[in-house]
Amino acid sequence: MIIAFDGNVYTGKTTLIKELNEKMNCCVVPEYCEFITSDQLSDSESAVSRQRKYLLIEEKRSCLVNKDKTMLVDRSFISLAAHVWTLYKLGIADIRADFAHDLAKQAEKGTIIIPDALIHLCAPHSELKKRFEIGEKGPAAKNTHPSLMNCAYLQRIEEFNTHITTCFKPSITINTGGNKADVIKAVEQFIASGEKSCDKQYELIKSVCATLGF
């Protein structure tokens, strides 16, 4: 079973996956940034170029999938789509057509991870900003760009993920701003249900492209 964890930065995806893996002995697919170095990205490159690089990383990530084990995926292509949609909504760039085209090509090749179930993590914006301020000063700083903590950006990412989890089942939205033990318990119960989507590839990609406007 492939379970994807998506949501805004600092909602606790990586931390939660690590704790679940220690308890459940799952297989983990790291997030995109683990497969690309900072010198492979340029502030001056186009948004299309950058998203294309991330989509191509799916080829490497898809090789890590073990169908005999529970897979915990730290961000799926849904996070990429959410960013593309947010850029459009904020009037920064409209690369939806290019992204939808590249996504379809990846799907045809079978080199993209299609989750069986989705977990959307969220938290109050004030909590995310507090985690950002603490996290970026520590030894495990993510070098998160401050623009990703803008309230308008955070809101649009949440809107996209909320819409996808409404369209695609099984899925769940969990607020990580509360008690940590309760969050872990909620995720464990969701995973234990073992429910999988039928015809998942067609359904999920169709939902994502429709949300993007294609």
Q: Which of 75, 70, 65, 68 is nearest to 26 (CA)?
A: 70
- Coil, helix or strand for 117? strand
- Which tokens go with 186? 């909620």
| b/e map 97-116, b = 16+ CB within 10 Å | ebbbebbeebbeeebbbbbb
The pLDDT value recorded for residue 200 is: 60
* Residues written for the chain: 214
The number of distinct structural domains making up the chain is 1
In the predicted structure, residue 201 carries a pLDDT above the cut 80: no
Higher pLDDT, 202 or 16: 16
Angle ∠(195,86,204) on CA atoms, nearest 5: 25
The dihedral built from the CA positions of residue 155, 86, 120 and 210, taken in this order, carries a sign that is positive
The fraction of the chain above a pLDDT of 70, given in percent, is 92
The pLDDT value recorded for residue 45 is: 65
Overall pTM surpassing 0.75 (yes/no): yes
90 pLDDT band, cuts 50/70/90, is: very high
The pLDDT value recorded for residue 43 is: 60
The pLDDT value recorded for residue 3 is: 95
The pLDDT value recorded for residue 86 is: 96
**Poorest-pLDDT segment among 72-81, 85-94, 129-138, 168-177:** 129-138
CATH number of the domain within which 167 lies: 3.40.50.300
Per residue in 112-146, pLDDT (tens digit) is 999 999 999 999 999 999 999 998 887 767 788 88
Residues of the domain holding 21: 2-212
25 pLDDT band, cuts 50/70/90, is: confident
